[in-house]
Structure 1
Amino acid sequence: MDKNTQQSELELKAREWLTKRGVTLHDIAELVFYLQAKYHDNLSMDDCLHNVDRVLTKREVQNAILTGIQLDTLAEKNMLDQPLQQTIETDESLYGIDEIVAFSIVNVYGSIGFTNYGYIDKQKPGILKKLNDKSTGECHTFLDDIVGAIAAAASSRLAHGTADVKQLDD
């Protein structure tokens, strides 16, 4: 692998932390499939995985993953000062910073990502339902939004790629 295609330490760490928190790339690809299947007749999980993988190569995405997971982990360990501790621990509905971090991911692939993100954030299919389960004792205030945003961004990337191919065919 040449220098330009190697994964950075930051990317490797972001991928590792997702896995440690119980999120696989396949989980995220399932969300992409959920968002895009009705728009693509021959959509495969491989297509979805490829787009998730490409989203994870972006530095903005890696930084959001590491920041969000770190805050969730600190909240689980009761290591934040009040009132921030309780706000993150309970995923207070008016907090909104977790969504702002997610928007930094969604922004990478354009405005279609916002609608994808809003939809999947409300529906909470697949891994998002699991991450939102407060009975586990784990804190995923940031992670659920980050995972939804990665799926939305990958969906946007997929949609843009399909539109580009259609334009070339015209």
Structure 2
Amino acid sequence: MEWLRKRGIKLEQIAELVMFLQQKYFPELTIEYCMYNIEQVLRKREVQNAILTGIQLDILAEEGKLIPALQEMVENDEGLYGVDEVLALSIVNVYGSIGFTNFGYVDKMKYGVLEQLNDKSDGHIHTFLDDIVGAIAAAASSRIAHRKQAEREAEMAQLKAKADSEA
């Protein structure tokens, strides 16, 4: 979380992305619950590793310290580069295939903070960070979806058990 903050990202901004992805499916969703799920995603070591790797590569690109061919690709966030998305997919993969669709959607829409990171108006390189932030939001959204599905299944099992006992 410290490195996300250093790069200008607030968890509330990521929570807005989670709301964007999930509110249609769960109208009772709150920012607080989104924040909780983001925090749970950020506890995972593989997520932390991806964040640190991506941020370090963005910083090295800002400093001009990458080899020339890679420097140009990262600096310009070239569409065919794709390694930034692959790194982000390691985050969404933690919560299953729904994470991939959530990530693809939020990455394409460039909603909220993702639009700001993508337009590069702050003078920083965010080739990896924009995808990492989108992936964290997608993973938290997936975590919420999995929890809601588990709640529904438990509720159905209780109803079935009650019906069986009454029969």
| Normalised TM-score (structure 1) | 0.90
Cα distance in structure 1, aligned partners of 2:119 and 2:41: 26
Q: Deviations over 1:17-62 (max 9, x none)?
A: 0000010111111100000000002110011001101000001100
Q: CA deviation at 1:134?
A: 2.5
Cα distance in structure 1, aligned partners of 2:148 and 2:47: 22
Please tell me the root mean square deviation across aligned C-alpha atoms, in Å.
Answer: 0.7
Cα distance in structure 1, aligned partners of 2:122 and 2:94: 32
Structure 1 residue runs without a partner (length 5+): 1-14
In the alignment, which residue of structure 2 is the partner of 1:16? 2
Structure 2 residue runs without a partner (length 5+): 157-167
| Normalised TM-score (structure 2) | 0.92
Q: 2:52 aligns with which of 66, 72, 75?
A: 66
In the alignment, which residue of structure 2 is the partner of 1:8? none
Q: CA deviation at 1:136?
A: 2.9
Identity of aligned residues (%): 62
1:157 aligns with 2:143: yes
User: Higher helix share goes to which structure?
Assistant: 2
In the alignment, which residue of structure 1 is the partner of 2:72? 86
In the alignment, which residue of structure 1 is the partner of 2:114? 128
User: Which has the greater radius of gyration?
Assistant: 2
How many residue pairs were aligned? 156
Q: Deviations over 1:124-143 (max 9, x none)?
A: 11110110013432100000
In the alignment, which residue of structure 2 is the partner of 1:9? none
Q: CA deviation at 1:81?
A: 1.2
Pairing 1:19-168 to 2, within 5 Å after superposition: 19-168=5-154
